[in-house]
């Protein structure tokens, strides 16, 4: 690919807040629940809502990504992100890369076998376009959306199945692959019991966050908690997707969505939603 059109991969950043807790890592509480994805599907809002609950503690840094791209950092580094034991009845992590990472379920099962998992799933067409727009805002994506999805296979290559750093690079431009939810959810259900996994439709959570938040609290075994307001964090504003591109992607994702509906026993109706 021409250098002028190559995706500019951001440099990896060190979580200094976690390093500050390394010395007391063994005294800290590992998460009871993890928001595993999807990226650009409302996970930031849900994490903020949970952080306001008096019985919930969240990680010092949002998106720890330990079980995906930072597994080599070790358990002390991971555990250093969380509150000291006794500070919160329930501890929650939010790392939306986990849903898509091929090794994350197995790694997590070994360390947190009883953890509860929360997945927010957004219409994959809208998720892909939002993902693309985020990369554009950060100055990393030089291609148009249509060019980027046409180049995805070439850009990703085998990175989705490689080591964590190869996967990290490939994940930035996996606009379409990240929306193949059925195979991702199935990978988690092959490792964790169905009653450990809560799946929410993002569009319903965006429009009516209160009942979705109540479902999450009930899933976590916590008492209802009424927030004063439900702000939509990181909504993003950009021009609409071209109608012909939306139609083409809707048709691309349709069979994958049907597999998801059959797997969950719930039809999200993405194919008939108006935009």
Is residue 263 a part of any domain in this protein? yes
* pTM of the predicted protein model: 0.93
Question: Angle 181-189/243-264 helices, nearest 10 degrees?
Answer: 20
- pLDDT tens across 62-104, in order? 899 999 999 999 999 999 999 999 999 999 999 999 999 999 9
15, 63 contact by CB (below 8 A): no
Q: From CA 244, how far away is CA 227, in angstroms rounded?
A: 40
Order across the sheet with 33-37: list the strands.
56-58, 90-94, 33-37, 116-121, 197-201
Q: What is the DSSP string of 61-78?
A: SS---TTTT-GGG-HHHH
In a domain, 5, yes or no: no
Domain carrying residue 246:
15-272
Say which residues have a Cβ less than 8 Å from residue 139's Cβ, sequence separation at least 6: 8
CATH at 105 = 3.40.50.300
Measured distance CA(125)–CA(275) in Å, rounded: 11
CB 205 within 8 A of CB 42: yes
Which pLDDT band, with edges at 50, 70 and 90, does 106 fall under? very high
**Residue 4 domain-assigned (yes or no):** no
Instruction: Examine residue 111 and state whether it is found in any structural domain, yes or no.
Output: yes
- Assigned domain for 3 exists: no
User: Is 169 part of a structural domain of the chain?
Assistant: yes
pLDDT digits (tens, 9 = 90+) for 4-41: 567 888 877 766 667 777 999 999 999 999 999 999 99
C-alpha to C-alpha distance for 274 and 271, rounded to whole angstroms: 9
pLDDT digits (tens, 9 = 90+) for 166-223: 898 899 999 999 999 999 999 999 999 999 999 999 999 999 999 999 999 999 999 8
Q: Which two tokens stand for residue 18?
A: 């976690």
- Give residue 186's pLDDT: 98
Q: How far apart are CA 111 and CA 177, in angstroms?
A: 27
Is residue 206 in some structural domain? yes
Largest CA distance in the chain: 55
Measured between alpha carbons, how far is 152 from 177 in angstroms, rounded to an integer?
Answer: 9
Percent above pLDDT 90 for the chain: 77
Q: Is residue 9 assigned to a domain?
A: no
Report d(CA 144, CA 149) in Å as an integer: 9
Number of domains in the chain: 1
């Amino acid at each position: 690919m021409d250098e002028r059109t190559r995706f500019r991969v951001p440099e990896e950043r060190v979580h200094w807040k976690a390093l500050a807790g390394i010395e007391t890592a063994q005294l800290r509480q590992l998460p009871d629940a993890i928001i595993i994805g999807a990226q650009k599907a409302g996970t930031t809002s849900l994490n903020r809502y949970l952080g306001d609950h008096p019985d919930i503690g969240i990680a010092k840094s949002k998106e720890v990504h330990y079980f995906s791209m930072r597994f080599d950092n070790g358990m002390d580094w991971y555990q250093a992100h969380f509150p000291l034991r006794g500070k919160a009845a329930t501890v929650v992590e939010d790392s939306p890369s986990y849903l898509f990472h091929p090794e994350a379920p197995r790694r997590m099962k070994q360390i947190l076998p009883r953890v509860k998992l929360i997945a927010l799933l957004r219409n994959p067409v809208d998720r892909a376009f939002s993902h693309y727009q985020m990369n554009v805002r950060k100055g990393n994506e030089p291609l148009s959306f249509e060019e980027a999805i046409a180049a995805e296979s070439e850009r990703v290559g085998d990175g989705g199945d490689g080591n964590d750093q190869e996967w990290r690079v490939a994940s930035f431009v996996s606009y379409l692959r990240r929306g193949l939810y059925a195979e991702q959810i199935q990978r988690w259900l092959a490792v964790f019991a169905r009653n450990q996994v809560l799946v929410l439709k993002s569009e319903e959570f965006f429009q009516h966050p209160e009942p979705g938040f109540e479902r999450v609290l009930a899933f976590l075994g916590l008492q209802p908690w009424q927030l004063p307001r439900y702000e939509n964090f990181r909504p993003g504003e950009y021009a609409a997707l071209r109608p012909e591109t939306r139609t083409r992607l809707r048709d691309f994702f349709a069979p994958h969505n049907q597999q998801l509906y059959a797997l969950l026993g719930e039809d999200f109706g993405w194919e008939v939603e108006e935009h």
